[in-house]
Structure 1
Amino acid sequence: MNKSPYDEALRQLLDSNAQLDVEGKGTTNHCPMALCALAGMGAGPERLQAFFDMWVRRFGLPAPEITMRVDAQNWTEMTGNAAAFGALRAYFAHWIVRSGANAVVAQVLGRVPFAPASGAFHALIRLGYGLEAEHSGEIAAGLAALVSRNLPINMQSVERRRAASVHEGWAALSNALNGAVFSDDLISSRLRAVASEPLFGAHLLAPPEHAGLLDEMAHAALALYWKTNSFTVMHMVTGLFATRQVFAHIPGTLAQRLLPDVWAALCAAYVSIGAPPVAADELALPVDPVAAGEQVAWPELLQLAIASDDDHVIKMTFTCWREYQRQPSSLYLLAAKRVIKS
């Protein structure tokens, strides 16, 4: 997260967010993620406070009392236990104080299934934003969400042919599952249904093996969002950005070991929207010279996103802006415009 005079305001609000449950009224608790994105785009203390107050009023649920004990001996046993979120968050927060955030993140991700799709990618996004904000409580919350809402997608059960590209991997799934319907309203429920679908397990290829795989997946997700305007694919885009944030804080060897989990989550999300056919050239991110008009457009878009009360508009705009800074492409600008004006 870019440092600013507003770091203290963000820290205090993230501290206050610990009083809220991991879920909200009919939704996940997006508040801390949106606050981090707002601060990253330059929102001031008054705007951060106003968003927090709005969220608590409309969606906030009080965190339940912690009734179970989590410690160094049993925390891995809480994998998949949604009721353990609060106890896990408290344990991880104390562990971070003792050992440092990066060390704890590496330990946790090395001992439980990484499962980026957990909580419809929100657990991973919360962890990534917490790491950039350097907020121990949010780092602990992201880890607790990844463990307690763990949604692994097992790739180890069969020998798999390796895809040469994201397109080849998606094409194999599309040929087998194009039009498949997973109709639950919740993204996470549809992802679980895909993970247990025999055709998905049979036709999921091993991930492409090259150094730029994370970039290729991020570009493909953005291109798929542009093609489909899918709410689920928006989570793929913001989830892959969060993956980049998390991987910046762990050893490269561990990040490489976790990449197949990212691939499996991405493929499951693709199938959850019906595995629509996509041509290879549609997944190639156009990389354009930076135009003067784009440089002028971004400040206006950021201000519109900062003024929004829609957490998905806020996170998607922030993601597109940050990814544009890494690799300028008009598609990031166009995607941000679409989500703001939708």
Structure 2
Amino acid sequence: MHQALDESLQYDTYYPSGSLQLFNHLPMVLGALTRLGAPPTALRRQLDHWRELSVPARPSQRAVPPLEAVLADLLLSAHVDAFHAAIRLAYALQSGHTGEERAALAAWLAKAPAASSDSQVGPAGPSGESGLHPHSAVPQPQTLLRETLAAVRADPRLGMEPAGGTLIVTRLQRAQALPAFPDYARVPQLSLDDLAEASLAVYLATHDFTALHLVTGTHAVRELINVAHARGLALDLPRILAAFWRAWLAAFIAIRRPAPAWDLVHAGSASEGDWEAAVPTLSDSVNDHRIKLADAAREEWRHRGWPGYALCLQPLGAAQ
């Protein structure tokens, strides 16, 4: 893996796709395949595939500070580049590759200032009034996440039409610009477990491309919080979760507020053998999102024990 990451560092953080600049997934998929136990041939397949897509890395003279100096603040902008900055850094730290750690940190820092200012969760208006309709079902203090999502689904002010051919980031920005969005931006009772369960429930209900990133993004945030704790860093967890929830909510609205498949999260059974059986197929695939989802799902299943994570191995929708 370190040899593969050495090679991947010659490529830029972004690559062109028509008029769009997309995030280069090569270092992340190399980490996912390695953690899944894929053979070296799978890493070479990814390197060959991404060589055709990527462009040379642009030189940077910006100094990269130590991780300990910036991680607590960076976690306030875990939604940067549709969660990819956080996902890449989580994989980089897991890899133990110094060059990739610095490159991943630099990529996030390049976007963090603007993202941090966008992620603050403040009052809806100058007076703190939300402008609710008299009979609105907007959640009140102490409302649980499931109840909040039910209210979001029922609110006609949060309707969005599909926006094909646009970046996830663009769709999230459009959702956040809806006048009713601030009414739901604060959920007092919020935990990472809540967000993980909702992410998996939404993905299993839709197999949607954006929903896939909620699963992998939530996993990355958990890993980075663990890194921060292991290094003795002080974190403002309520603020981190509030910022992440704001992006999560925008994604949920952008994919048209599907009914989460709560039952699928906890039904059935799962075992290590489910992932072991999938490794040959994943190794032959160049669908980096399918591979990263499978890896994140296994790690989350190991942590939480929810059998629904094994359903992420199904080649459906975004994981085809």
TM range (shorter): 0.7 to 0.9
Aligned residue for 1:254, secondary structure, equals: coil
Aligned residue for 2:150, secondary structure, equals: helix
Residue aligning to 1:82: none
Residues 1:117 and 1:182: Cα distance change in structure 2 (over 3 Å): farther
Worse overlay, 319-328 or 236-245: 319-328
Residue aligning to 1:155: 121
How many pairs are equivalent? 292
Residue aligning to 2:203: 225
Off by >6 Å, runs of 4+ in structure 1: none
Deviation at 1:273, TM superposition (A): 1.1
Q: Is the 8 A contact 1:166 1:208 kept in 2?
A: no
Query: Separation in 2 of the partners of 1:295 and 1:318?
Result: 12
Question: In the TM superposition, what are the counterparts of 1:1-342 in structure 2 within 5 Å?
Answer: 10-26=1-17, 27-57=22-52, 59-66=53-60, 69-70=61-62, 91-92=63-64, 95-96=65-66, 101=67, 103=68, 107-111=69-73, 114-150=76-112, 151=115, 152-158=118-124, 159=128, 161-162=140-141, 164-176=143-155, 177-181=157-161, 183=163, 185-201=166-182, 203-209=183-189, 213-251=191-229, 253-254=234-235, 256=237, 257-276=239-258, 278=259, 282-283=261-262, 286-287=265-266, 290=269, 294-339=271-316, 342=320
Q: Is the 8 A contact 1:220 1:285 kept in 2?
A: no
Query: Separation in 2 of the partners of 1:271 and 1:154?
Result: 19
Deviation at 1:111, TM superposition (A): 4.1
Q: Is the 8 A contact 1:114 1:146 kept in 2?
A: no
Query: Separation in 2 of the partners of 1:233 and 1:46?
Result: 29
Amino acid in the other structure paired with 1:64: R
Residue aligning to 1:85: none
Identical-residue share of aligned pairs (%): 29
Structure 2 segments unaligned to the other structure (5+ residues):
131-139
Deviation at 1:35, TM superposition (A): 0.2
Aligned residue for 2:180, secondary structure, equals: helix
Structure 1 segments unaligned to the other structure (5+ residues):
1-9, 71-90
Residue aligning to 2:134: none
Query: Separation in 2 of the partners of 1:238 and 1:36?
Result: 13
The alignment yields a C-alpha RMSD, in angstroms, of: 2.5
Q: TM-score, normalised by structure 1?
A: 0.77
Aligned residue for 1:156, secondary structure, equals: coil
Deviation at 1:232, TM superposition (A): 0.3
